């Protein structure tokens, strides 16, 4: 008996058929923005997906992978039917953009993060601040319960991004759990998957495993990530359909609270250490920062004032980019 395609899957198939080559190019660019965000610790690709208006389709598309109708067609090797159910063209375009960003932008963003962190954080601060404004407009009327959900998300993210990393085991089950939690955070606006690995004390361990080609460690983390994202997408998809405004309010709060992590002016207060108390170094021989404290800009010198002026311009530029994109999106739907 042929598996029936659900209404949700049929809708996704219709969207694929109506997209032009130019629109798929736009999806690749959105994926590029997501990949660029994921490279910067503390900025989530989920935030960028939310800002660019593809978040719900992304969650629904990932959610399809875990649905029985899709799994049945795959196990029966009915690939054509499986592709009809899966929004594969959308996912492929997004994945291509993320992959291109990692290959082409990682080195430049890493350089900026090390040499001009204030300017890079300022631009992202403007992006996220503007996204809080634009995304909040998706809710027609803010009620006390929605404001409470916004506050819970903001406070939760504010406390989480200020948490101190802990020492954790390297057992297989914890590596699996770390991958699952990190990938879930990566698709949540406002929370970085890399930052979750830092909090769990596994960032350097996983990074070393990748560099040393430790297939078992990378495989356990990857398996946890694959199962985690499919499982979490089921929950998010359900929440969007049943409690849309509540979910948007919570995610908006997460972005608002994450501004603590993206504040441009910081000082390092602690660094990652191994079990023997020795500082862990990155590939450049520098100590890896575990915790930072936010400080006010320096207005006591001309250089400090000039830095603040440039940072403010970049923040306004980031804010302007999102507001322009939001206006363009609204004019298309008008």
Residue partners of 57: CB distance under 8 A and separation at least 6? 12, 15, 87, 90
Q: Are 190 and 255 in contact (CB under 8 A)?
A: yes
Q: 97: which 2 tokens?
A: 């953009």
Q: Are 37 and 131 in contact (CB under 8 A)?
A: no
β-sheet bridge partners, residue 279:
273
Rounded to 5°, the CA angle 302-117-320 comes to 85
Rounded Cα distance, 144 and 180, in Å: 33
Q: What is the DSSP letter of 315?
A: H
Average pLDDT over residues 43-69: 83
Whether the pLDDT of residue 70 is over 50: the answer is yes
Pairing state of beta strands 266-271 and 289-294? Answer: antiparallel
Instruction: Report the pLDDT value the prediction gives residue 334, as an integer from 0 to 100.
Output: 52
Whether the pLDDT of residue 315 is over 90: the answer is yes
Residue with tokens 């196990």: 75
Helix, strand, or coil (residue 293)? strand
Instruction: Report the pLDDT value the prediction gives residue 51, as an integer from 0 to 100.
Output: 75
Tell whether the torsion through CA atoms of 51, 54, 195 and 137 is positive or negative. positive
Average pLDDT over residues 93-103: 87
Residue 268: which H helix or E strand, with range? strand 266-271
| Average pLDDT in the chain | 82
Rounded Cα distance, 276 and 257, in Å: 34
- What is the tens place of the pLDDT at every residue in 151-180? 999 999 898 877 766 667 888 999 999 889
Residue with tokens 């990692």: 102
Rg (CA), the chain: 21
Rounded Cα distance, 263 and 158, in Å: 12
Most confident of 154-168, 193-207, 221-235: 221-235
Whether the pLDDT of residue 191 is over 80: the answer is no
Q: 60: which 2 tokens?
A: 């629904």
- What is the tens place of the pLDDT at every residue in 5-28? 444 544 454 555 578 888 899 899
Indicate the angle between helix axes 88-115 and 117-136, nearest 10 degrees.
Answer: 140
Instruction: Report the pLDDT value the prediction gives residue 1, as an integer from 0 to 100.
Output: 43
Instruction: Report the pLDDT value the prediction gives residue 327, as an integer from 0 to 100.
Output: 75
């Amino acid at each position: 008996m042929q598996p029936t395609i659900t209404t949700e899957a049929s809708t996704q198939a219709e969207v694929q058929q109506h997209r032009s080559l130019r629109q798929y190019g736009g999806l690749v660019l959105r994926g590029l923005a997501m990949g660029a965000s994921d490279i910067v610790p503390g900025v989530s690709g989920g935030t960028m997906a939310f800002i660019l208006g593809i978040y719900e389709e992304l969650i629904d598309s990932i959610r399809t992978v875990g649905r029985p109708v899709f799994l049945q067609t795959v196990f029966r090797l009915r690939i054509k039917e499986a592709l009809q159910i899966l929004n594969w063209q959308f996912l492929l375009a997004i994945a291509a953009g993320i992959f291109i960003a990692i290959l082409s932008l990682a080195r430049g963003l890493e350089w900026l993060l090390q040499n001009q962190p204030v300017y890079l954080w300022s631009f992202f601060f403007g992006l996220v601040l503007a996204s809080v404004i634009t995304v909040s407009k998706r809710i027609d009327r803010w009620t006390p319960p929605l404001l409470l959900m916004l506050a819970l998300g903001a406070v939760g993210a504010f406390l989480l991004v200020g948490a101190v990393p802990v020492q954790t085991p390297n057992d297989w089950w914890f590596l699996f759990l770390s991958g699952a939690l990190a990938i879930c955070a990566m698709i949540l606006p406002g929370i970085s998957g890399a930052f979750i690995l830092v909090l769990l004390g596994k960032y350097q361990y996983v990074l070393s495993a990748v560099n040393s080609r430790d297939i078992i460690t990378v495989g356990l983390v990857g398996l946890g990530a694959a199962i985690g994202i499919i499982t979490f997408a089921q929950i998010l998809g359900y929440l969007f359909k049943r409690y849309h405004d509540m979910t948007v309010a919570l995610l908006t709060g997460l972005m608002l609270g994450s501004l603590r992590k993206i504040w441009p002016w910081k000082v390092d207060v602690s660094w990652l250490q191994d079990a023997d108390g020795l500082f862990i170094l990155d590939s450049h021989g520098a100590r890896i920062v575990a915790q930072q404290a936010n400080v006010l800009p320096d207005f006591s010198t001309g250089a400090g004032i000039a830095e603040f002026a440039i940072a403010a311009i970049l923040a306004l530029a980031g804010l302007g980019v999102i507001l322009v994109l939001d206006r363009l999106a609204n004019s298309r739907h008008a």
